[in-house]
């Protein structure tokens, strides 16, 4: 059986969404269980920086 997890990101306020993204970046940085995530950490950080500037 496959788990179906929904975060409902469209309902999150910008500050919460940015905090979630920064937490994901922090937890994936140096994590040996995820050596090559589907989206690079540099790309995630660039998106987080752009999102924060746009707020």
Q: Tens-digit pLDDT profile for the chain (55 aa)?
A: 677 777 788 788 899 999 999 999 999 999 999 999 999 999 999 999 999 999 7
Does the residue 4 lie in any domain? no
- What's the domain count of the chain? 1
Domain presence at residue 3: no
In a domain, 22, yes or no: yes
**Domain extent at residue 23:** 9-54
| Tokens of residue 25, six digits | 């970046």
Q: Is the residue at 49 inside a domain? A: yes
Confidence at residue 55, expressed as pLDDT on a 0 to 100 scale: 79
45: in domain? yes
Token readout for 8 is 């409902």
Is there a domain that residue 1 lies in?
Answer: no
pLDDT, position 1: 66
How many angstroms separate the CA atoms of 37 and 40, rounded? 6
């Amino acid at each position: 059986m496959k788990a179906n997890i929904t975060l409902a990101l469209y309902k999150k306020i910008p500050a919460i969404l940015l905090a979630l993204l920064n937490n994901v970046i922090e937890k994936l940085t140096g994590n040996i269980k995820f050596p090559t995530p589907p989206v690079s950490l540099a790309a995630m950080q660039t998106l987080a920086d752009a999102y924060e500037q746009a707020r």
